[in-house]
Amino acid sequence: MYPALKKQFEDLIQLTDTEFEYISSHYQVKRFKKHAIILHPGEIVNYEYFVLKGLIKTFMVDNEGKEHIWQFAMEDWWVSDYYAFQTRELSSFTIQCLEDVELLRISYTDRDKLCREMHSMERFSRLKITSGFFSQQKRIMALLQNDAQSRYKQLLDQYPSLFQRVPKALIAAYLGVTRETLSRLRIE
Amino acid sequence: MYPALKKQFEDLIQLTDTEFEYISSHYQVKRFKKHAIILHPGEIVNYEYFVLKGLIKTFMVDNEGKEHIWQFAMEDWWVSDYYAFQTRELSSFTIQCLEDVELLRISYTDRDKLCREMHSMERFSRLKITSGFFSQQKRIMALLQNDAQSRYKQLLDQYPSLFQRVPKALIAAYLGVTRETLSRLRIE
DNA sequence: CGCGCGATTGAGTAATTTCAAATCTAGTGG
DNA sequence: CCACTAGATTTGAAATTACTCAATCGCGCG
């Protein structure tokens, strides 16, 4: 069951079939339509999500009304407002579907329980968040040292499929430039 | 021994005295003079460091020769080039002392061993890297949605002591602006 | 065919950078 | 104690870059 989920675990830790069965029994499938909002700002974040199919954006709207993309997530990506999820505070992000989406979700309680019960789940969580840490490190260094042009190229060749699936305005909101600036980049 | 280190662990997990003794036996004290370089780019990163005393910067020099600060670390902070440390690749950062420094360090091998042996060490590592993840998240959102002025204020009131201890040019290199721009911010 | 959304283009404005010079400050040696 | 120097900070002015706001273009879908 859930081979994509199984692969996630197997790539980082070793699990017996029984152990995986036990873990995966805490996940449930959810489906959402394009445009549906999975998480609203100001809510308690009860779930962490794993994308089986489709595409999602996590974003925040600043006090001038501008949208800033925190993360895109497609197949095999994990999504949540992790800060709010972990601290039990209210979410500051919106999570919304850019396509029809099929997800697995696990509740905070179950996840916490699994981490306490199983060293290997704790380890899996550590390694996953560590790789998230690294992507963010990379993104920060890119924001500090590269101009919009090379951040665009970098994103483009790391995730070429994103550009078939996501409007350019959202790419701009991810890179931290306006859509107009992004549009002018390619020519110059 | 090492009460500051003990507090790090006790804040996140529960340990018996014996367990803490065992963990702490893997750390050793190192001292460096102001200006000393603890890690050079291109080296294997063998250690994770915990700052007992002093102040450190972790930075990268881009291909135009500009310095970008990844992290400052003072008392009770953890430092390493975590990506290189974890993946065993060569470091891309320089770690250098801004003051005389006293550190605890643990080797990659020992740390890995402790995480495998002790669920609680694995958990500690997960929680620590998670909070690092959150700081980075905050920093990215600040880079995306705030101008230099408010990033400066934000840093200033989160770490006021930094401004007594660090030259402004380095603060600028952390915030992603030139020293001249930073200098002009306060007046306007 | 025409509506509507996304993408592009243009022109003026604002913010940041660059390069150069001036000012300030802390530490050193006389 | 003072003068001096190196490093840090500030200031000025021009150039660059990105932004805003408005208008136009292009294309898929009903």
Residue A183 placed within a domain: no
Does B156 touch chain A if contact means CB atoms closer than 8 Å? no
Which of B70, B129, B139 has the highest number of chain A CBs within 10 A, making it the mutation to test binding with A? Answer: B129
Q: In A, which residues are within 8 Å of B132 by CB distance?
A: 133
Sorting pLDDT into bands at 50, 70 and 90, what band is A188?
low
Record: contact B145-A119, CB cut-off 8 A: no
- Supply the pLDDT for residue A187: 52
What lies within 8 Å, CB to CB, of B113 at 6+ separation is: none
Q: Which of A123, A133, A141 sits opposite B133 (nearest CB)?
A: A133
Among B115, B122, B140, beta carbon nearest to A139: B140
Is residue A177's beta carbon less than 7 angstroms from any atom in nucleic acid strand C?
no
- Is the residue at B156 inside a domain? no
The pair phi, psi for residue A59, each rounded to 5°, is -145, 170
Residue B158 forms part of a structural domain: no
Is pLDDT of A20 > 70? yes
Tell me which nucleotides of strand C come within 7 A of a protein CB: 5-11, 15-20
User: Is B181 within the bounds of a domain?
Assistant: no
Q: How many domains does chain B have?
A: 1
Is the residue at B12 inside a domain? yes
Q: How far apart are the first and last CA of chain A?
A: 49
User: Side-chain half-sphere of A124: how many Cα atoms within 13 Å?
Assistant: 25
| Nearest C-alpha neighbor of A48 from the set A26, A63, A65 | A26
- Residue B147 makes CB contacts below 8 A (sequence gap 6+) with none
**B10: CATH:** 2.60.120.10
Q: How confident is the model at residue B109 (pLDDT cuts 50, 70, 90)?
A: very high
pLDDT band, residue A149 (cuts 50/70/90) = confident
CA atoms within 13 A of residue A158's CA, in its CB half-sphere: 10
Domain span including residue B98: 3-145
Q: Which residues pair with A31 in a beta bridge?
A: A102
Residue B187 in this model has a pLDDT that exceeds 60: no
Minimum distance, in Å, between the CA of residue A33 and any CA atom of chain B: 28
State whether A141 and B68 contact (CB < 8 Å): yes
The answer to whether residue B166 is domain-embedded is: no
| Token output for A27 | 């996940």
Locate tokens 């999500």: which residue? A49
Is residue A161, in this structure, part of any structural domain at all?
Answer: no
**Closest CA-bearing residue to C1' of C17:** B178
Give B94→chain A minimum CA distance, Å.
14
